[in-house]
Amino acid sequence: MWSSITDILIPNSFEEALKYQEEVNSKLFGGGTYLVSAKDNKIHKLIDINNLTDNTIEINDHEIIIGAGVTVQKIVDGDNELQRLSLIAKQSQFSKNIRNQRTLGGEIVQKSIQSDLFTYLVAINPRLEIMNPALQFVKMREWNGQGIINKILINKMDILSSGFERFSVIPSAPAFVMVAVVRRALELDFVVSGKTEKIFGHTMPLADFGKNTLKSIINESVKYFTDDQYGTIEYKKSLIATGIQRAVEQI
């Protein structure tokens, strides 16, 4: 992997993997693309959990259940019911070689606010099946990072009732502004991220959505952006407004 790595451990159970994880300077990995790119010299032991995490995709009447070990490319190659997720997965990383390594579980653990896929998952807020070491289920936004993700359970209605818009220099480049909107019963969820300091999230009653609340969401979310080579704050405010409008039209 890189020069500081002295051992690669392959646990036979989640319990053993969690025990290894307690060791100093150790790190779990599936695909490992983020780890390799970072090359953190403080890490000396890698814990390979590829043989443990689920790597299947199951679709039933109400949910899409994706194993944490499923690669981003497998999602891209998925059937019609994965179409929106497939497109966003492809936009997250245009290199097929990296998509063939990168796993959905790793995408969630990494929490990259510049990832289309992570941003969209924050918006739809799936349930996570966590081995900790006992089996438990928790919403993605509420997960404290403890334990190992085994499956991601996505409500199909959240995908059908969602919109996503991105802005990048060219289609294959990382987005510098992303907006996701999800409608649930009587409320709307907004998530804004990109080349920003922090991902922005806001939930509001559907009945309250209007020009004033929209203006408030734009003004609050743009605080995490800065003037840079991608444009001024005022320009990004206009993109966030356009992104919200387009995302809402997709719902």
DSSP labels for 82-139? GHHHHHHHHHH---HHHHTT-BHHHHHHHT-TT-HHHHHHHHH--EEEEESSSEEEEE
Categorize the per-residue pLDDT at 2 as very low, low, confident or very high, splitting at 50, 70 and 90. Answer: low
- Which structural domain, as residue segments, surrounds residue 23? 7-48
Specify if 1 maps to a domain. Answer: no
Could you tell me the pLDDT band of residue 152, with boundaries at 50, 70 and 90?
very high
Task: Summarize pLDDT for 44-81 with one digit per residue, the tens.
Answer: 788 888 889 999 999 999 999 999 999 999 999 987 77
Q: How far apart are CA 154 and CA 63, in angstroms?
A: 5
Which pLDDT value is given to residue 249?
92
State mean pLDDT over 198-216: 91
Mean pLDDT taken over the chain: 90
Answer yes or no: is 2 within a domain. no
Secondary structure element (H or E) that encloses residue 233, with its range: helix 233-250
The percentage of residues in the chain with a pLDDT greater than 70, rounded to a whole number, is: 96
Write the CATH number for 196: 3.30.390.50
User: What's the pLDDT at 39?
Assistant: 67
Would you mind telling me the total number of residues written for the chain in this entry? 251
**Do 70 and 107 reside in the same domain of the chain?**
yes
pTM above 0.75, yes or no: yes
Confidence of residue 101 (pLDDT cuts 50, 70, 90): confident
Amino acid letter at 203?
T
Among 112, 138, 159, the domain-final residue is: 159
Predicted pLDDT at 35: 65
Instruction: Give 17-47 pLDDT, tens digit per residue.
Output: 888 888 868 778 777 777 666 666 777 788 8
